[in-house]
């Protein structure tokens, strides 16, 4: 069973640390470790306690039935405390006689304080233990992400006919979402971003009610979600014939993106891949307009490990799914970003996003 491999990996990490238990409450991490599907929403009150002997899941009555069914045949024992999840959890830790507890760095401070005061043993904050296991994907995870990427590709093909002067950014964002959801996406990976004209110079502009106008650059950044797993893609088009400046920027971003993808293979540090795109944009005179990192890992979360930026010393490894998304953003003029989802392989990579990347002039 897949989740067993994940639990074993976390137990090894725990064993190496000298701590006797880890508490995991990040929803994506809980979902990953248990393998439970269609059980937890973003609000779920759930916590896992893992030791070398026990695998306990604590939750409240809203999730208990679904958890009991999902846990059948797995090592997870479901606990539904009458009072607070964390009160019972701490009582159980004390009853087990455990001495040291690892807690994820992402827990809210109030919860950390409560547990530190209630639990009799040592509490130590640990960072990214589960996320580091999540950073390379199994074949089943990759299949879901490829399916999510395909849903985004199809939504892009669909939206091109609807990009006409007068339609607003908000209408396009909604149409992208409706198309992905009506073709099988569970919600969206994140709120679609649509930035037109001068708004396109802001990498994460809020979607507005601005109507598209002739001459606009229009950047659309969106992703679908299939059985928990995200895709992430950006395309930029021009409303009408591109000006020489728009075409020059587009060509530079596309060349940077394609060159960086060519550099992706298992064992290459993220910063080296980032440098391929950054150096090319600098050579073309646009270096100062590319402020963000080149890419990020994607999985159950749309932003996860590994990082692909100028600070990422860590190598990308076969099985990681990352984005490659250089952009040029000229304030007052507009911006271009092109983003693909890419599976890292030994000796190369496989691009999961298949929507066209040539300059589309609507």
Q: Which residue number, 9 or 351, has a Cβ lying nearer to Zn ion?
A: 351
Q: What is the DSSP letter of 211?
A: B
Task: Please say which residue, 169 or 339, places its beta carbon nearer to Zn ion.
Answer: 339
Alpha carbon distance, N-terminus to C-terminus of the chain: 49
- Provide the token pair at 114: 């409560």
C-beta of 309: minimal distance to Zn ion in Å?
A: 12
CA distances from 31 to 23, 116, 235, 301, 320 (A): 14, 25, 31, 11, 18
- Residue 118: CB minimum distance to Zn ion, A: 39
How many other CB atoms are found less than 10 A from the CB of residue 141?
20
In sequence order, the 6+-apart residues with CB closer than 8 A to the CB of 89 are 23, 47, 49, 56, 58, 79, 81, 115
Least CB distance to Zn ion at residue 29 (A): 21
Task: Please state the closest distance from residue 338 (CB atom) to Zn ion, in A.
Answer: 10
CB of residue 9 to Zn ion, shortest distance in Å: 26
| Nearer residue to Zn ion within complex by CB, 118 or 202 | 202
What is the closest distance, in whole angstroms, from the C-beta atom of residue 15 to Zn ion in the complex? 35
Residue whose CB is less far from Zn ion, 104 or 339: 339
Of 208 and 309, nearer to Zn ion (C-beta) is: 309
C-alpha angle 69/71/77, rounded to 5°?
125
Query: In the complex, what is the shortest distance from the CB of residue 179 to Zn ion, in angstroms, rounded to a whole number?
Result: 17
Residues near Zn ion (CB under 5 A) are 221, 232, 234, 323, 339
Residue number with CB closer to Zn ion (21 or 341): 341
Q: Which residues fall within 8 angstroms of residue 266, CB to CB, at 6 or more apart?
A: 315, 316, 317, 318, 344, 345, 346, 347
Give 295's strand partners. Answer: 308
Which residue, 216 or 339, has its beta carbon nearer to Zn ion? 339
The conformation of residue 358, written as its DSSP 8-state character, comes to: S
**Shortest distance, position 143 Cβ to Zn ion, whole Å:** 20
Q: What residues contact 157, with CB distance under 8 A and at least 6 apart?
A: 355
The residue among 150 and 232 lying less far from Zn ion, judged by its C-beta, is 232
**Phi and psi, residue 118, nearest 5°:** -85, -40
Sequence-distant (≥ 6) Cβ neighbours of residue 339 within 8 angstroms:
221, 232, 233, 234, 235, 257, 295, 323, 324, 325, 353
Distances (CA, A) of 51 to 71, 98, 129, 245, 263: 17, 9, 14, 60, 41
């Amino acid at each position: 069973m897949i989740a067993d491999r994940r639990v074993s990996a976390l137990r090894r990490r725990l064993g190496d640390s000298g701590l006797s238990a880890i508490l995991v409450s990040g929803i994506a991490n809980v979902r990953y470790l248990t393998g439970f599907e269609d059980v937890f929403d973003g609000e779920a009150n759930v916590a896992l306690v893992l030791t070398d002997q026990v695998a306990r899941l604590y939750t409240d009555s809203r999730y208990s039935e679904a958890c009991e069914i999902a846990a059948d045949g797995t090592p997870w024992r479901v606990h539904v405390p009458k009072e607070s999840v964390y009160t019972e959890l701490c009582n159980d830790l004390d009853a087990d006689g455990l001495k040291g507890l690892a807690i994820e760095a992402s827990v809210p401070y109030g919860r950390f304080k409560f547990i530190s005061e209630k639990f009799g043993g040592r509490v130590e904050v640990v960072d990214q233990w589960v996320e580091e296991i999540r950073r390379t994907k199994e074949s089943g995870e990759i299949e879901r992400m490829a399916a999510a990427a395909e849903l985004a590709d199809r939504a892009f093909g669909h939206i091109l006919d609807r990009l006409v002067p007068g339609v607003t950014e908000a209408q396009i964002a909604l149409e992208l979402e409706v198309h992905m959801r009506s073709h099988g996406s569970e919600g969206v990976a994140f709120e679609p971003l649509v930035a037109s004209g001068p708004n396109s110079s802001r990498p994460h502009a809020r979607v507005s009610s601005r109507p598209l106008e002739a001459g606009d650059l229009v950047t659309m950044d969106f992703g679908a979600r299939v059985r928990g797993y995200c895709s992430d893609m950006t395309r930029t088009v021009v409303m009408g014939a591109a000006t020489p400046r728009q075409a020059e920027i587009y060509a530079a971003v596309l060349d940077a993106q394609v060159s960086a993808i060519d550099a992706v293979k298992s064992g290459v540090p993220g910063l080296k891949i980032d440098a391929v795109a950054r150096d090319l944009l600098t050579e073309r005179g646009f270096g100062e307009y590319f402020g963000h990192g080149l890419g990020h890992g994607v999985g159950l979360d749309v932003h996860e490990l590994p990082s692909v930026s100028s600070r990422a010393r860590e190598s990308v490894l076969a099985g990681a799914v990352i984005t490659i998304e250089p952009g040029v953003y000229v304030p007052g003029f507009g911006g271009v970003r092109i983003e693909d989802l890419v599976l890292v392989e030994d000796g190369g990579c496989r691009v999961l996003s298949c929507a066209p990347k040539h300059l589309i002039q609507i």
